[in-house]
Amino acid sequence: MNREQDAGDFDDLRTEIEAAERRIAREIDPGTRGFVVAILVFVLLASFILPHTGQVRGWDVLFSTHGAGAAAVALPSRVFTWLALVFGVGFSMLALLTRRWALAWVALAGSALASGTGMLAVWSRQTVAAGHPGPGIGLIVAWITVVVLTFHWVRVVWSRTIVQLAAEEQRRQIVAQQQSKTLLDSLDDNPKNPEKPEDPTTPSPPD
């Protein structure tokens, strides 16, 4: 009876651990780092109202308005602003609100791509033809913010991975302990040298 109860308790514990692993696999727990990510998202969003080159703001670069063409805004600047808006702002907000691990990975990958594109955007404004403005404060702020945002998303995703690995290791230890206990119980039930019962038909030796 005790063994059946122990087996039932072990099954319940294993079910709880597996449920926790599935929950961990789907969710993230950014903790205080989530507050930092939220601040970076707002800073990145505010950078779109600042000039990215000359008098051309980030919103103008996105939609090619208010002199973006006259300022010779190149393709890297447009690609960077769109990547920063979609992944740095959009998917980062979704990941923080839903705490979904998949969305955090998308935000990380998109922010990393935007970081490289932002470097090309700054370089394209520094090497623009004479007579056109260089990189503005908005472009510099947006690029630095995306780089820092990428770093924090890496830490959030990596922290979740460490927790998941710890849960898997705990489950392996519990399974190993239960298997060892089951093996010992089976050895107790089946001893190697059981005592032979006496045969009632065997005559007793004479006195």
Which residues, including other chains, have CB under 8 Å from residue 120's CB and lie 6 or more apart? 76, 80
Tokens of 27: 């969710």
pTM flag (> 0.75): no
Contact 160, 79 (CB under 8 A): no
Contact 88, 145 (CB under 8 A): yes
Identify the burial level of 153 via C-beta atoms within 10 angstroms of its C-beta, where 0-12 means exposed, 13-18 middle and 19 or more buried: buried
Cα 15 to chain centroid distance, Å, stands at: 24
Q: What share of the chain is helix, strand, coil (3-state, %, to 5)?
A: 75, 5, 25
pLDDT of residue 189: 57
pLDDT of residue 69: 76
pLDDT of residue 123: 93
Q: What radius of gyration do the chain's Cα atoms show?
A: 32
Q: For the chain, give the number of residues.
A: 207
pLDDT of residue 174: 64
Per-residue pLDDT of the chain (207 residues; tens, 9 = 90+): 555 555 556 566 666 666 665 666 667 778 888 899 999 999 999 999 999 988 888 898 888 877 777 777 888 899 999 999 999 999 999 999 998 888 999 999 999 999 999 999 999 888 877 777 888 999 999 999 999 999 999 988 887 655 555 556 666 666 666 666 665 566 565 555 555 455 555 555 554
Name the β-bridge partners of 53. Answer: 56, 135
3-state secondary structure of 112: helix
Contact 169, 17 (CB under 8 A): no
